[in-house]
Structure 1
Amino acid sequence: MSALLESPFFGVTITIVAYWIGVKIQQKTKLAICNYMLIAVVLLVAVLVVFDIPYESYYVGGSLINLFLGPATACMAVSVYAKLELLKKNWLPVLVGCTVGVATSLISIFVMCRLFGLDREMTASLLPKSVTTPIATAISQDHGGLVAITVAAVTVTGILGNLIAPMLVRLFRIKDPLAVGLGIGACSHAVGTAKAMELGETEGAMSGLAIGLCGILTTVAALGFELFL
């Protein structure tokens, strides 16, 4: 049994099954709260807790799925290329929008960490929560953060963005698909981008672009925050 739990097959299999169940439940209920990512995470945690399975055993296979996050993010460049002319015409709003998004995220997290008295390690772990996992974990490691906390923060941020992005778009009456895509990508990275792609081709392309651009800007900005940590 221990050999099975420690094999890559176990982590990969239960992750795929949990994701499949999440998708089926969302399709059946049509409820925003029944988000497939959220359901998959809850199911995985429940299985590990109920059967007392160490996270390290699960991650032997889970790390293989994590390995594909980088290439999957890079593949979003295909949709960006399809909207290259739109990007050329709006390069300045795109750059300014992503810069403001990164600044808002980093400053708000830094201020909240100070208000709640979190130490340097926790602050470094939470700062990159709005960028995609491969970039966020690299930033966290470089600045002395806890990678596990960073991954959890990134996951929660992405799921929340996926859940509430359509509602916020309607609430603030945002009509421009470029603005919608940039906002979602800047705040909730790849998981939010999955929802942006459901909203439209332009939204998905701009959200994918925001992931890469915001990742670069966050990496650079994190160097400056190192002085205050």
Structure 2
Amino acid sequence: MTEITDFLSNSVSFGLCISLICYWIATIIYKKTKFFLLAPLLVSCAFVITILVVLKIPYEKYLEGANFIYYLMTPCTVALAIPLYRQFSKLKENALAILLGIIAGILANAFFIFACCSLFKINNQEYVSILPKSITTPIGIALSNQNGGIESVTILLITIAGNMANIFGAIFCKIFRISEPVAQGVACGSSGHAMGTAKALEMGEIQGAMSGLSIAVCGVLTVVILPFFVNLI
């Protein structure tokens, strides 16, 4: 067992291979069950964590190979411009509504976090770590560090928010009877960044395009709006 663990730990491709295999298996499980709590992103994360714990493989070793996937996030984000270009007429028709929807999402997120942190007596450092939870990871980390937050807490909350949007995005749209594709896309992108966009793309091309746009706009506007909230606690 020790020899196998050492071999896997020293294999640069281990992180990449185990990530792809776990996601592939999780996709099969989801297609077979269609149960929303068995979303591929969530299940594959659970599989990877279990394997690392059981085999006692350091996270740093896993990350050496898995980092390749992280590098692909930039070109994948750029590729979201393709469905947006195809739906450019929708963007022009709904530009004001999209902008106001994103701003509303940012403000709702900020006020909700402020209310919860005030209620539970959370200190400022933890508060500013939670504030950027609904934007893309690089911007969220930068904002957290800039305001004296805890980077690991920010990453954890961004991951949780993304998974929640991925799992419950379509369900909440049904519950609240949000049937307009543009509104669905803005909701997923402004609340769940890339993971929410993955779900939006499953819902349709218009939803995916609007969600991809929301990631960028939400990130930029959050940088502008967030400083007004950081010192409230």
Q: Same fold (TM over 0.5)?
A: yes
Match of 2:16 among 12, 17, 21: 12
Does structure 2 conserve the Cα–Cα contact (< 8 Å) formed by 1:181 and 1:206? yes
1:110 and 2:114 aligned: yes
Instruction: Quote the residue 2:67 is aligned against.
Output: 63
Match of 1:131 among 126, 129, 135: 135
Amino acid at match of 2:58: P
Q: TM-score with structure 1 length normalisation?
A: 0.92
For structure 1, the 5+ residue unaligned runs are none
Q: Secondary structure at the match of 1:33?
A: helix
Instruction: Quote the residue 2:152 is aligned against.
Output: 148
Instruction: Quote the residue 1:176 is aligned against.
Output: 180
Distance 2:192 2:20 in 1: 22
Instruction: Quote the residue 1:78 is aligned against.
Output: 82
The structural deviation recorded for 1:35 is 0.6
Does structure 1 conserve the Cα–Cα contact (< 8 Å) formed by 2:124 and 2:231? no
The 3 A distance-change label for structure 1 pair 56 and 110 is farther
Distance 1:8 1:122 in 2: 35
Does structure 1 conserve the Cα–Cα contact (< 8 Å) formed by 2:165 and 2:196? yes
The structural deviation recorded for 1:97 is 0.4
Q: Matches of residues 13-52 of structure 1 in structure 2 within 5 Å?
A: 13-52=17-56
Instruction: Quote the residue 1:217 is aligned against.
Output: 221
Match of 1:88 among 89, 92, 95: 92
**Residues 85-119 of structure 1, C-alpha deviation per residue, up to 9 Å, x if partnerless?**
22112111111000000111122112212322223
**Residues 34-67 of structure 1, C-alpha deviation per residue, up to 9 Å, x if partnerless?**
1101101111111122222222222222333222
Instruction: Quote the residue 1:199 is aligned against.
Output: 203
Distance 1:22 1:209 in 2: 28
Stretch deviating more after TM superposition (149-158 or 218-227): 218-227
Distance 1:111 1:8 in 2: 45
Stretch deviating more after TM superposition (62-71 or 41-50): 62-71
Q: How many residues align?
A: 229
1:119 and 2:145 aligned: no
RMSD: 1.8
For structure 2, the 5+ residue unaligned runs are none
The structural deviation recorded for 1:23 is 0.8
Stretch deviating more after TM superposition (37-46 or 164-173): 164-173
Match of 2:57 among 17, 32, 53: 53
1:208 and 2:178 aligned: no
Distance 2:111 2:70 in 1: 28
Amino acid at match of 1:54: P
1:226 and 2:225 aligned: no
